[in-house]
Structures are given as C-alpha cells and as structure tokens.
C-alpha cells in the first residue's frame, strides 16, 4: 500500500478544509479526521487583532515529517496532511490544519489529536499575538 504524507509550511492562504480532507481520502479508509486551527478574536479578555507566525520552513517541515513518522508508528494510518501558515493570519482565518485517514475511526481521531499536540510542542514555528493594546511572542505555537 502506498501512503501519502503531505507537510507544508507556507505564507500563502491554506487550501480549504475540503481540499485537504480530499487529499487524504482513500477507498480503504473508513475515517477521515481533521483539526483546523483558526485565529480567534479574544485571548484572556484581550481583543486579538491578528496572529503572526515565523518559521525556518525547511526545519519546520522536517520536524513535521518526524511527527508523521511518529504517528505512523502508533496508529494504522492511510494518509496524513499537515499544513501550517506563516506570516499574518487575521481573525477568522486558518493557521493550521491536520488531516488523517485510517481504516477505523479510532486511529484517525487519536492520531490527529496527537499530531496537533506534538506540533505545538516540537515544531519550530513561533507565534506572536497582536492585541489592540500591544503584542506578545508566544514561542513555539502555544
């Protein structure tokens, strides 16, 4: 069986959730799970204007591929796609998407949660939250 893994860190707007879900679709997969992270308009009572992300793309994509391999060692997955946007991401827009497909839903659901959690822990992508009254760097995607 040929597994397809996609990792992309880009300054461009991300593909739609439907497009990403379609990229991991497989006739052998009974489940597709996704996580989509969007910029919200508040954080701890402060009005968020936008998020700004920075990354060294080759290193970030290398780490994402390591996380995909880690997930493949734990769950039986068909295909995996992880997209992360860098640059300015206004309120309401998507900054990160994780999609997985598997024969059974538990593998896909657990792997998707694991991948987004590990991405936030390990991937060298830095986030700055810009508020109406200033901004703060949050370090790696926390």
pLDDT digits (tens, 9 = 90+) for 77-136: 999 999 999 999 999 999 999 999 999 999 999 999 999 999 999 999 999 999 988 767
Range 30-39 average pLDDT: 97
What is the pLDDT, as a whole number, of residue 135?
67
- Alpha-carbon gap, residue 102 to 105, rounded angstroms: 7
pLDDT of residue 98: 98
3-class secondary structure, 104? coil
pLDDT digits (tens, 9 = 90+) for 115-125: 999 999 999 99
pLDDT band at 43 (very low <50, low <70, confident <90, very high): confident
Other CB atoms within 10 Å distance of the CB of residue 75: 20
The token duo for 40 is: 């919200």
Taking the C-alpha atoms of residue 138 and residue 31, their distance in angstroms, rounded to an integer, is 34
C-alpha to C-alpha distance for 124 and 118, rounded to whole angstroms:
11
Place of tokens 């989509």: 36
Q: How far is CA 89 from the centre of its chain?
A: 14
Backbone angles phi, psi at 110, to 5 degrees: -65, -40
Indicate the burial class of 39 (C-beta count within 10 angstroms; 0-12, 13-18, 19 or more). Answer: buried
> 14-34 pLDDT, tens per residue?
999 999 999 999 999 999 999
- Which domains does the chain carry? 4-133 (3.90.1170.40)
User: Does the pLDDT at position 40 exceed 90?
Assistant: yes
Residue 104's φ and ψ, nearest 5 degrees, are -120, 150
Asked if the model's pLDDT at residue 142 lies above 80, the reply is: no
| The pLDDT of residue 42 | 92
59 has a pLDDT exceeding 70: yes
With b for 16 or more beta-carbon neighbours within 10 A and e for fewer, the 77-104 pattern comes to bbbbbbbbbbeebeeeebbbbbbbbbee
Residue 74 has pLDDT above 80, yes or no: yes
């Amino acid at each position: 069986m040929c597994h397809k893994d996609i990792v992309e860190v880009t300054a461009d707007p991300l593909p739609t959730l439907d497009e990403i879900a379609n990229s991991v679709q497989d006739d052998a997969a009974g489940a597709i799970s996704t996580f989509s992270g969007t910029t919200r308009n508040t954080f701890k009572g402060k009005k968020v204007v936008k998020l700004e992300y920075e990354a060294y793309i080759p290193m970030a994509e290398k780490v994402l591929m390591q996380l995909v391999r880690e997930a493949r060692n734990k769950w039986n997955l068909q295909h995996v796609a992880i997209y992360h946007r860098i640059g300015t991401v206004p309120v309401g827009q998507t900054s990160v998407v994780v999609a997985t497909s598997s024969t059974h839903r538990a593998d896909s659901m657990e792997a998707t949660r694991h991948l987004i959690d590990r991405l936030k822990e390990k991937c060298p992508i830095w986030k700055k939250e810009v508020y109406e009254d200033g901004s703060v760097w949050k370090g790696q995607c926390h």
